[in-house]
Structure 1
Amino acid sequence: MKNSLLSALAKNFLGNAPRWYKQAILTFLIINPILFMVDPFTSGWILVIEFIFTLSMALKCYPLQPGGLLAIEAIAIGMTSPDTVKHELLANFEVILLLIFMVAGIFFMKQLLLFTFTKMLTRIRSKTALSLAFCISAAFLSAFLDALTVIAVVISVAVGFYTIYHRVASGKDFQVEHDHTEDSHFVDELTKKDLEEFRSFLRSLLMHASIGTALGGVCTMVGEPQNLIIADQAGWHFGEFFLRMAPISIPVLVLGLLTCVVLEKTSWFGYGGKLPENVRAIMQRYEAHQDQKRTKRDNAKLAIQALIAVWLILGLAFHLAAVGLIGLSVIILATSFTGIIEEHQLGKAFEEALPFTALLAVFFSIVAVIIDLHLFKPVIHWVLEQEGHAQLIAFYLANGILSMVSDNVFVGTVYINEIRSALMEGQITRDQFDMLAVAINTGTNLPSVATPNGQAAFLFLLTSSLAPLLRMSYGRMVWMALPYTIVLVFVGLACVNFNLIPVTDFLYHNGLLIHHSAKAAAATLIH
């Protein structure tokens, strides 16, 4: 009886995850308290590596459960405290609101999104042109909207495409529901081959769009949450932020888009997948079918959703309210004017975002461990010990490396506060402060594309319901991001090293930027 109970408990633990994976998580849970008693600093870094392991195995087991167990244990043994975790959650409350409400708001605009992107998919036959269009669109939108909002739109579109094809290939009609069956339901081997090609096609589009969010996000103060923090500490307005980032962000954008073209032309790193003609035919039939059966009421819904999209872009671009609250307004407007008034109809919209919201809370628990155990302290001290031009490069690289494994907002906040203190104490000049702030911003935005835990948009994609359908694993994302990582890191580094100071001096000389005295800067920061 006892053995059967233990066997049942073992089977229930992490469900259908592989046995070796369960054993690995149990091993982590056993050794962590022992390591913490021996060396807290080392044990903290091991915990970070263990959490990254759970992210990398997202297709084996959703990271919330194993990562959550590690976080609970970390709090229980004293690696961090509930108060620090709460502080991190409150500091990132706008991101949490965004996930809860904005992603759900996008759900209620899927008719417009599917209509728009189906037209694009069937009209643009060149895969290179289509990939470039996705990358440029994501970059432009991310310069004014939050990257998570943009990637939520792209995921919603990809799910719509996948579902249309899957239902037709399974012998069903065009009704678009989230009904994903197993490959065994496909009618023949040719259909399975088309599916694999279609998956490759969608994977490349998603990765191009994800990279696009980073290319655009670095350009403006509203592009990423840490950008706002850096701009606030530096006292920069929207235009000044753009001009200060331009010596790095513009060359990176151009070379990033060129990389998109090269990858599609060469089919390196898993790119270059074409849309199968059978799938294109299905999409064209779907488009014709939808156009034929569309009623005046359907057209009215599309018009309402288009107006709401305008409100969404304007509201986010001009920061008329917190991102999450704008998302809530989208839910209210979209449902009110399209006849969705029943509670169970609303519930579906929150299914995608809430698991990731819970995972993000666990992630902030790991960030709390990094804070309380001062895991970044040696790197921070090393960077601050550098002088002159070498300090710019050191800040860029240090921010980039740390942003690959931690929260960009946390890393950016830590470093901008450090140089703010240095400015207040007279250790650096205001001009040096400005250039270091640029290095910090670009360092947190560009190298972080290397891993899903470096970019929230990547992590959201990895843990979405779409990832297992497209066989989008952690390792595959790292591999597909690698060429972009190399280009973005080295172009950014070259611009910091050779381009930042002369271009900034040129902007000063032509009156596009204003020199700040250290005394005036300190007064501004105190205020």
Structure 2
Amino acid sequence: MALTMRQAFIHNFLGNAPGWYKAAILCFLLINPVLFYIDPFIAGWALVIEFIFTLAMALKCYPLQPGGLLAIEAVAIGMTSPKMVLHEIQANLEVILLLVFMVAGIYFMKQLLLFVFTKLITKIHSKTLLSLAFCASAAFLSAFLDALTVIAVVISVAVGFYSIYHKVASGKDFSQNHDHGNDESIQTSKEDLEDFRAFLRNLMMHAGVGTALGGVCTMVGEPQNLIIAAQANWGFGEFFLRMAPVSMPVLAAGLLTCVLVERFKVFTYGAQLPDSVRQILVQFAEYEDAKRTNKENMQLIVQAIVGVWLVLGLAMHLAAVGLIGLSVIILCTAFNGITDEHSLGKAFEEALPFTALLAVFFAVVGVIIDQGLFTPVITWVLTFEGKTQAVMFYLANGLLSMVSDNVFVGTVYINEVKAALLDGRITLEQFEKLAVAINTGTNLPSVATPNGQAAFLFLLTSALAPLIRLSYGRMVILALPYTIVLTLVGLLAIQTGFLDFATQAMYDSGILKMATEIPGAISSGH
């Protein structure tokens, strides 16, 4: 039956998304101009909540389209400006380059990654030990590399495992082509498939939280850490020592949480790798080892050498992360015989949709800035003094980072605190304490939601998420024990005075030198 024009419009609008979802987005688009006319502040917060809704429903519809419509409308009605959106994109250009080039670079290293992690999963039979290995290795790598790079590696590995099992479970051999997004061809137990999905969800979340545990420790762990370090004039070693009274207890508590949630199987953790899946992965490893030619062995060697360059280049900050990613693409393809445009294009399929979504997110950040949505909270927190002020900064940064970009939140707060220091409203000692509170606040409680951490958001919107049924709600539930533990341990380290005690002990022992002059003027930023 032919569709009327009205039916065709409704059918085409947001494609296969449910009708109620389409209606909700249309309602948002209709109500926002009215709210903006009544009260721009309320309209701004409404837009933030609506955008979070599109992220929460990522499995119903990729957030780029509905979120993009909301962002376009926000610019059109004057909630922010194209100039502000461009400014935010320019300020985060390194993150965009990272997504475009580094994720594509990881694609060309997937043979090596699959080889290494297949050995790891097939050799370690304890789920608790395997989970701890994923969490701890992600934490270590994220202290020196970028969290998005680390999570991109783990996503690539998980997709590889899933596609191998799905192919064999569909009655095909390892060499055949297969669409692992279609379950209709599955011939084995559907229960094993669901258990495998739960197993992968657990590992992905352990790795994701690991990036936050390691990212808070060093000045290169997260983008906002660099900004905070620059404002406080801290080098790599001093930044690590300043954060250690909070970051080290949090790291220990996070790793312990990983063990406990797996041991007691709470918050949907504890899913085991089905024996049938393990057997297929073992068979795949044996099959790959048996048929591997000298040409493929050389490809693995090249990828391993490029992997060493990747780690050294990022750890020593020889260039912007995205540029190092571009070098990975060039080296892996040039020395492994990949020269046609079609093969190169496949590598960018995963990253570019998320890159576009991130640009939309920067438009929402532009609304937050132009409408002063965080100003009341900032003003309120600055009314406190002493230890209470540090505690409130930690909590305020944590809460705002759950709904916004933690880089933006960290930048806004460190600039406000630096201004207070230069104006003489706080002492240098208090400034240093608040800098620690801001850094830990933006990094730790923000694991509560996918929009709080860029690595989590990338995972949620990746090709892996629908395969393993990892929704926004499931991510929040899986992150909840970590959110509670990391937030409380960080809070206790500041509130009980342990931060002050440990810092003073480092002064007394000569490990740290007490600052005697105010760091330089506020650097340009938001």
Q: TM-score, normalization: structure 2?
A: 0.98
How many residue pairs match? The answer is 523
CA distance 1:295–1:3, shift in 2 (3 Å): closer
5+ residue gaps in structure 2? none
Distance in 2 (alpha carbons) for counterparts of 1:439 and 1:455 = 17
Task: Provide the secondary structure at the position in 1 that maps to 2:23.
Answer: helix
Residue of structure 1 equivalent to 2:45: 45
Residue of structure 1 equivalent to 2:199: 201
1:138 aligns with 2:138: yes
Residue of structure 2 equivalent to 1:416: 414
1:497 aligns with 2:486: no
Aligned AA (2:395): L
1:521 aligns with 2:518: yes
Distance in 2 (alpha carbons) for counterparts of 1:157 and 1:3 = 44
Cα offsets for 1:238-259 (capped at 9, x unmatched)? 0000000000000000010000
In the TM superposition, residue 64 of structure 1 has moved relative to its aligned partner by 0.3
Aligned AA (2:503): T
Q: How does 1:94-109 map to 2 (within 5 A)?
A: 94-109=94-109
Residue of structure 1 equivalent to 2:213: 215
Do 1:248 and 1:500's aligned partners in 2 also have CA atoms closer than 8 Å?
yes
CA distance 1:89–1:12, shift in 2 (3 Å): same
In the TM superposition, residue 175 of structure 1 has moved relative to its aligned partner by 3.2
Cα offsets for 1:4-57 (capped at 9, x unmatched)? 111101110001100000000000000000000000001100110000000000
1:237 aligns with 2:235: yes
CA distance 1:475–1:515, shift in 2 (3 Å): same
Task: Provide the secondary structure at the position in 2 that maps to 1:55.
Answer: helix
Do 2:232 and 2:519's aligned partners in 1 also have CA atoms closer than 8 Å?
no
Q: How does 1:105-124 map to 2 (within 5 A)?
A: 105-124=105-124
Aligned AA (2:388): A
Residue of structure 1 equivalent to 2:81: 81
In the TM superposition, residue 524 of structure 1 has moved relative to its aligned partner by 6.8
Task: Provide the secondary structure at the position in 1 that maps to 2:515.
Answer: coil
In the TM superposition, residue 316 of structure 1 has moved relative to its aligned partner by 0.5
Residue of structure 2 equivalent to 1:440: 438
Do 2:167 and 2:178's aligned partners in 1 also have CA atoms closer than 8 Å?
no
| Runs (4+) off by over 4 Å | 522-527
Cα offsets for 1:50-96 (capped at 9, x unmatched)? 00000000000000000000000000000000000000000000000
Distance in 2 (alpha carbons) for counterparts of 1:132 and 1:3 = 55
Cα offsets for 1:332-354 (capped at 9, x unmatched)? 00000100000000000000000
Aligned AA (2:143): A
Aligned AA (2:237): G
Q: TM-score, normalization: structure 1?
A: 0.98
In the TM superposition, residue 214 of structure 1 has moved relative to its aligned partner by 0.3
Do 2:231 and 2:520's aligned partners in 1 also have CA atoms closer than 8 Å?
no
Distance in 2 (alpha carbons) for counterparts of 1:526 and 1:122 = 50
In the TM superposition, residue 3 of structure 1 has moved relative to its aligned partner by 8.1
Distance in 2 (alpha carbons) for counterparts of 1:424 and 1:181 = 57
1:153 aligns with 2:153: yes
Aligned AA (2:212): A
CA distance 1:454–1:526, shift in 2 (3 Å): closer
Distance in 2 (alpha carbons) for counterparts of 1:347 and 1:250 = 42
5+ residue gaps in structure 1? none
Percent identity over paired residues: 69
CA distance 1:382–1:224, shift in 2 (3 Å): same
Aligned AA (2:306): I
1:469 aligns with 2:467: yes
In the TM superposition, residue 2 of structure 1 has moved relative to its aligned partner by 12
1:375 aligns with 2:373: yes
CA distance 1:526–1:171, shift in 2 (3 Å): closer
Please give the root-mean-square deviation of Cα atoms over the aligned residues, in Å. 1.4
Cα offsets for 1:478-501 (capped at 9, x unmatched)? 011000000000000000112111
Q: How does 1:263-412 map to 2 (within 5 A)?
A: 263-412=261-410
Do 1:234 and 1:525's aligned partners in 2 also have CA atoms closer than 8 Å?
no
Aligned AA (1:500): L
Cα offsets for 1:176-200 (capped at 9, x unmatched)? 8673142221114x2x111011001
In the TM superposition, residue 296 of structure 1 has moved relative to its aligned partner by 1.2
